[in-house]
Amino acid sequence: MNLALLLDEDFVSPDRARLQGRRLQHLKTVLKASAGDRIPVGRVNGLMGYGEVLKLNDSEAELQLTLETPPPAALPLTLILAMPRPKMFRRVLQTCASLGVKDIWLINSYKVEKSFWQTPWLSDDNLRENLTLGLEQSKDTVMPQVHIRKLFKPFVEDELPALLEGKRALVAHPGMAAPCPTHLNESAALCIGPEGGFTDYEVGKLEEAGCQSVHLGPRILRVETAVPVLVSRLFDACL
Amino acid sequence: MNLALLLDEDFVSPDRARLQGRRLQHLKTVLKASAGDRIPVGRVNGLMGYGEVLKLNDSEAELQLTLETPPPAALPLTLILAMPRPKMFRRVLQTCASLGVKDIWLINSYKVEKSFWQTPWLSDDNLRENLTLGLEQSKDTVMPQVHIRKLFKPFVEDELPALLEGKRALVAHPGMAAPCPTHLNESAALCIGPEGGFTDYEVGKLEEAGCQSVHLGPRILRVETAVPVLVSRLFDACL
């Protein structure tokens, strides 16, 4: 936690907040903060700065806030991910948030196991918690939006074309002829398949919707590795 | 496992191998292979190809091998990592192996907790197992070399200068003036600090040894995210 993200409900006045739970524990055990210390904070979807510790006890910490710095620029990326395996999903969410991805669509695919959609990590609270961890890691305040689409075909046929308008649209898929482009200067949409990849039918449907198929070299990467590799490749100037 | 990595001891003749344990289980339960099927294999530090299943039972699988394809190109990178927290270390190893990093130096740093060096994941067998998982993910055969240096100063003063010779040498550190370069056409050495970063003293010593300090933008990334982001940024043409 390189920044404590303050939620609206943490504010007791416009420049004062109280922390409990995980963030309080972090202040006490990792930062070993005490009254008078300044710790880096940010208001969710707002400015960043520091909070001076006014008091800190076993139940809460109270901070006097000075918030003047805008968060780092968001990546101009719509990330469309086949729903990952649950044990990987949390890390993928945190990674996306830490990289500045703000628009995440979780979609179905033939090789997404039905059980993946049952994971408790998809609850609103758990999504928010893991995205918060990513923002706190990278010192950002802007909460990513996560959209869940459990049916592939209606999403790709009815929603995706509008979503891709005005964007460079790509689907990363091993074995395609074109290499993934580098350092884009435009908004992009990027589709990444599940373990085992999209099926040929699915790649065809994504192409019909406007995506270009690109490869990422001879190596087959895990989703959790492919996301930072692709984001870095597409937007090296933005990171 | 997109490829079964065959060790020397798996070979019963130059073109025949027997698999047991984890790889046998994968053949049976994930690939659901049976006699006559061809599965992708590679010989450690050698060629890749396929193995035709001759027989498969509860104790072993026997494969007739056709190995004709060279593994993908290695990254021309020496990666010097402050020893990561054990729960992250396994994934970092797998990620490095899957990205084609072949030369990994694990070093001490002020913010590396002493307990990190006690992890069983540093045993030869466990290092090899996790590197194997990364190679099998990305379809590569060339086992990375891991060097362990538990003392920072002797490593940086006595070994590092020679290690950096002829290479573009970088230390990634938040807040430095120069941005990390992109698409290098030369060999590189890259130092990445622990959670919380190298100390100023350590950055100074790395600079004395020949490293240039570079930043990676305003975001502070976890080591497991920084590795693929930096590798992708430095070597986008090699991935």
Where along chain B do its domains lie? 4-69, 77-234
Cα B163 to Cα A163: distance, rounded to the nearest angstrom: 49
Query: Which positions in chain A touch B220 (Cβ < 8 Å)?
Result: 2, 137-139
| Minimum-distance CB partner of A229 among B72, B140, B232 | B232
Q: How near does any CA of chain A get to the CA of B31, in Å?
A: 11
**Residue B191: beta bridge partners?**
B80, B171
C-beta of residue B193 within 8 angstroms of C-beta of residue B109: yes
Q: Do B221 and A138 touch (CB under 8 A)?
A: yes
B219: contact with A, CB 8 A cutoff: yes
pLDDT of residue B57: 92
Burial B119-147 (b: 16+ CB within 10 A, else e): beebeeeebbebbbbbbbbbbbbbbbebe
Kindly state the tokens that stand for A205.
């449907």
| Minimum-distance CB partner of B219 among A217, A220, A239 | A239
Q: Is residue A238 very low, low, confident or very high in pLDDT (cuts 50, 70, 90)?
A: low
Reference B109, options B165, B62, B156; nearest CA is B156
Q: How near does any CA of chain B get to the CA of A13, in Å?
A: 29
Q: How near does any CA of chain A get to the CA of B153, in Å?
A: 26
C-beta of residue B230 within 8 angstroms of C-beta of residue B192: yes
A219: contact with B, CB 8 A cutoff: yes
| Minimum-distance CB partner of B98 among A138, A219, A238 | A219
Query: Which positions in chain B touch A225 (Cβ < 8 Å)?
Result: 95, 98-99, 228
Reference B4, options B12, B31, B14; nearest CA is B31
Cα A194 to Cα A37: distance, rounded to the nearest angstrom: 45
Reference B156, options B213, B206, B207; nearest CA is B206
Query: pLDDT tens for residues B104-155?
Result: 999 999 999 999 999 999 999 999 999 999 999 999 999 999 999 999 999 9
Average pLDDT, chain A: 95
**Residue A38: beta bridge partners?**
A52
B33 three-class SS = coil
Cα A91 to Cα B128: distance, rounded to the nearest angstrom: 24
CA dihedral A137, A138, A139, A141 (to 10 degrees): -90
CB under 8 Å to A98, separation ≥6 — which residues? Answer: A134, A135, A137, A138, A140, B219, B221, B222, B225
C-beta of residue A94 within 8 angstroms of C-beta of residue A128: no
pLDDT of residue A8: 93
- E strand or H helix at A5: strand A4-6
B100: contact with A, CB 8 A cutoff: yes
C-alpha count within 13 angstroms, C-beta hemisphere, residue A174: 18
Cα B124 to Cα A14: distance, rounded to the nearest angstrom: 56
Q: How near does any CA of chain B get to the CA of A218, in Å?
A: 7
Q: Do A239 and B225 touch (CB under 8 A)?
A: no
Q: Would you mind telling me the total number of residues written for chain B in this entry? A: 239
B46: contact with A, CB 8 A cutoff: no
- E strand or H helix at A232: helix A223-234
Kindly state the tokens that stand for A192.
């990444």
Q: Do A137 and B218 touch (CB under 8 A)?
A: no
A104: contact with B, CB 8 A cutoff: no
φ, ψ of residue B170 to 5 degrees: the values are -135, 145
CA angle B92, B97, B100 (to 5 degrees): 125
The architecture that CATH gives domain B4-69 is: Beta Barrel (2.40)
Q: Do B72 and A219 touch (CB under 8 A)?
A: yes
pLDDT of residue B185: 85
Q: Do A220 and B138 touch (CB under 8 A)?
A: yes
* Torsion sign (Cα): A136, A49, B111, B190: positive
Query: Which positions in chain A touch B182 (Cβ < 8 Å)?
Result: 182-183, 236
**Model confidence at A197: pLDDT above 90:** yes
A231: contact with B, CB 8 A cutoff: yes
Query: pLDDT tens for residues A115-167?
Result: 999 999 999 999 999 999 999 999 999 999 999 999 999 999 999 999 999 99
Cα A135 to Cα A123: distance, rounded to the nearest angstrom: 18
Q: How near does any CA of chain B get to the CA of A88, in Å?
A: 11
Q: For the purposes of burial, counting CB atoms within 10 Å of the CB of B114, is it exposed (0-12), middle (13-18) or buried (19 or more)?
A: exposed
pLDDT of residue B239: 63
Please list the alpha-helical segments (H only) found in A116-188.
124-138, 152-154, 160-164
3-state SS record for B76-119:
CEEEEEECCCHHHHHHHHHHHHHHCCCEEEEECCCCCCHHHHHC
More confident residue, B114 or B177: B114
Query: pLDDT tens for residues B196-223?
Result: 899 999 999 999 999 999 998 889 999 9
C-alpha count within 13 angstroms, C-beta hemisphere, residue A185: 0
Residue B217 neighbours by CB distance under 10 Å: 20
C-beta of residue A219 within 8 angstroms of C-beta of residue B98: yes
Q: Do B219 and A140 touch (CB under 8 A)?
A: yes
A98: contact with B, CB 8 A cutoff: yes
**Model confidence at A100: pLDDT above 70:** yes
Q: Do B218 and A139 touch (CB under 8 A)?
A: yes
A69: contact with B, CB 8 A cutoff: no
Cα A216 to Cα A229: distance, rounded to the nearest angstrom: 9
CATH class of the domain at A77-234 = alpha beta
Q: How near does any CA of chain A get to the CA of B152, in Å?
A: 24
Task: Assess: ipTM above 0.90.
Answer: yes
Q: Which of residues 121-180 of B touch A (CB under 8 A)?
A: 137-140
pLDDT of residue A102: 98
Q: Do A99 and B220 touch (CB under 8 A)?
A: no
pLDDT of residue B56: 93
Burial A45-54 (b: 16+ CB within 10 A, else e): eeebbbbebe
Query: pLDDT tens for residues B56-109?
Result: 999 999 999 999 999 999 999 999 999 999 999 999 999 999 999 999 999 999
Q: Work out how many CB contacts closer than 8 A connect A with B.
A: 90
Query: Which positions in chain B touch A135 (Cβ < 8 Å)?
Result: none
More confident residue, A92 or A182: A92
